[in-house]
Amino acid sequence: MLATTGWTAVRSHKPAADPRAAALSAWLHGSIGGHPLPSPQSAPDVLARFFGSLGGHERERLAERYPLVVGNLNGAPVELRYRANRIALEAARTVEEHRTHSTGLTPAGRDDAARRMHRFDSLAEDDRQILAFDPNGDGRVAEVFGDLDRAERVSVIVPGVDTNVLTFEKSQRSYSAPVGMAQSLYAAEQAASPDTRTAVIAWADYTSPVGVGVEAATGKLATEGALRLRALVRALPGSSQVSLVCHSYGSVVCGVAARDLSPRVTDVAVAGSPGMRAEHASDLRTSARIWAMRDEDDWIQGVPHMEVGGLGHGADPVSEGFGARVLSAAGARGHAGYFAPGTTSLANFADIGVGRPASVRCAAAGSTCTGNLGPMANSSAV
C-alpha cells in the first residue's frame, strides 16, 4: 500500500549533540538566592509563581545563565522567554560559525552549518519574538506575532511535514512556511477586526516527519507533538480564547491533542488534512468547533483516508460523514496555498481567529457549516 499510494521511505533525523539536555542538567543542579530551582516539568502556574517571586535582576540572571531552559519554560514570563531565546540563538549561531570552518565536516556539512548560522542570525534580530527554541537535531522553534500578553484571541498555526529551523521561513512563496503563514494570518485578522487584540503563534515546536513517508503515515510524532501543543495552550498568558489552525500533518497533531485540550480552545480548523486519527468529529471529544477545508487541486486528496494497522490517519475531515464544518478554500492553490493573501481560505481562518465564526464562507452554497455555533456542537454531531 505504501508503494502504490505515494508514501515513500525517508531518511532518519540526523543525530546531533543535545545542548538543551545539558542545559536542563545544569538547571537541575542550580540554585538562586540559596534555593534550588524548580523542576522544568512543573505546572505553568507553579513556574509563574516562582518567576513572580524573583526580582528583575534575578530573572535576567537565570535567562543569561540558562537560556535554553528559561526560553522554553511554559509559565515563564513571555518577555523573559524572548530575551532568553535571543541569547540561546546567539550562542547557537557561534557554534554554527565554528562548524563552517571545521575540517572534520564535508563541504555539504559546512554548507548546512552556514545555512543554520544565517537562520539563527535572522531569528535573533531584535524585533523578533521567539517563544521557543531548541537547536538540537533539525531544530524546533516558535515565534509570536502581536502582543501575546494582551491578546484577547490567539491563533496557533500547527504546520506539517518537513518543518524545522531551516524551513521555518522562506523568501519565495513565504506563506507556505510557518513564519509566512503566521504573518499572513495576523494581517488578515487585523483587517477583519481592527479592534480585537490578536496574536498569532507560528508553532514549529515539535518534531515533524521528514517527507511523506512512514513517519508521516503513523501517529507517533503526532502523539509527541500533541503533548507539547497541549502544554503550550495551557501556559498561554491571560485568559485569551484560542484557535488552532492546523495544516497537513499538523492536523494529525491537532486531532490527537483535541482529546485533552484546554477549554479555552474554541476552534480547531484543519486544511489539507490526511486525517485527524478519528472516524468522526465526535470522536475528538472536544467542546471546540471543528472546521475543515481542502482546495480542489490539493494532492492530499489522493492519500487513502483510512487507518490500517497503525498506518493512515482515519476519515477525511472534509467528507460529509466526518461531521466537521466544511469551509471554502476558494483561491487557494495546491497543498501549500491556504495562507496566500487574498484567498477565501485565509479570510476564513481570520474570521475564526477573531471570534467571528458566523462570518465564514462555507464550502457549498446552502451549507449549514455556520449552524449551531454554540459550545459542544461537535461532541453531539451524528
In terms of domains, do 144 and 123 share one? no
DSSP 339-364: T-TT-HHHHHHHHHHTT-GGGPPBSS
pTM above the 0.75 mark? Answer: yes
Q: What phi and psi, each to the nearest 5 degrees, are found at residue 116?
A: -65, -40
Q: What is the pLDDT of residue 212?
A: 65
Decide if 117 contacts 89 (C-beta within 8 A).
Answer: no
pLDDT at 11: 36
The verdict on 79 and 153 lying in the same domain is no
Residue 376 has pLDDT above 50, yes or no: no
Q: Pinpoint the alpha helices (H) of 66-207.
A: 67-70, 78-99, 107-123, 178-192
**Residue 306 — very low, low, confident or very high, per pLDDT cuts 50/70/90?**
low
CB atoms within 10 A of CB 15: 8
What is the average per-residue pLDDT within 214-243?
91
Structurally, the chain folds into a number of domains equal to 2
The pLDDT score that the predictor gives to residue 307 is 60
In this prediction, residue 1 carries a pLDDT of 31
Assess whether pLDDT exceeds 70 at residue 378. no
Q: Average pLDDT, stretch 38-48?
A: 95
Q: Which residue, of 84, 110, 131, is where some domain finishes?
A: 131
Same domain (yes/no): 113, 146: no
Same domain, 203 and 292: yes
Same domain (yes/no): 120, 192: no
Same domain, 216 and 330: yes
pLDDT higher than threshold 50 for residue 57: yes
Residue 220 pLDDT grade (very low, low, confident, very high; cuts 50, 70, 90): confident
Q: What is the pLDDT of residue 382?
A: 30
Residues 6+ apart with CB under 8 A from 172: none
Q: What is the pLDDT of residue 178?
A: 98
Cross-strand pairs, 201: 144, 156
> Across the beta sheet with 325-326, what order do the strands follow?
130-134, 140-146, 198-204, 153-158, 241-247, 265-271, 289-293, 325-326
Of 131, 162, 192, the position where a domain reaches its end is 131
Give tens-digit pLDDT for 257-301.
Answer: 999 999 999 999 999 999 999 999 999 999 999 999 999 999 999
State the Cα–Cα distance between residues 76 and 10, nearest whole angstrom: 37
Cell numbers for 151, please give them. 491578546
Which range of residues forms the domain containing residue 341? 138-382
pLDDT at 248 over 90: yes
**Backbone phi, psi, residue 268, to 5°:** -125, 115
Regarding whether 253 and 123 lie in a shared domain, the answer is: no
* Residue 3 belongs to a domain: no
By the 8 A CB rule, do 293 and 251 touch?
A: no
pLDDT at 6 over 60: no
Closest CA relative to residue 201, chosen from 114, 277, 141, 260: 141
Distances (CA, A) of 171 to 93, 179, 346: 20, 10, 19
- Determine the pLDDT at residue 17: 67
- Do 120 and 33 fall within a single domain? yes
Domain contains 101: yes
> Which range among 3-7, 44-48, 282-286, 296-300 shows the weakest confidence by mean pLDDT?
3-7
CATH of the domain at 363: 3.40.50.1820
Domain end marker among 78, 106, 131: 131
Same domain, 95 and 188: no
Examine residue 313 and state whether it is found in any structural domain, yes or no. yes
Q: What are the CA-CA distances from residue 118 to residues 13, 135, 207, 261, 337 (Å)?
A: 21, 13, 21, 36, 26
The predicted-structure confidence for 159-189, as pLDDT tens digits, reads as follows 999 999 999 999 888 999 999 999 999 999 9
| pLDDT, mean over the chain | 90
Residue 234 lies in a domain: yes
pLDDT digits (tens, 9 = 90+) for 100-148: 999 999 999 999 999 999 999 999 999 999 999 999 999 999 999 999 9
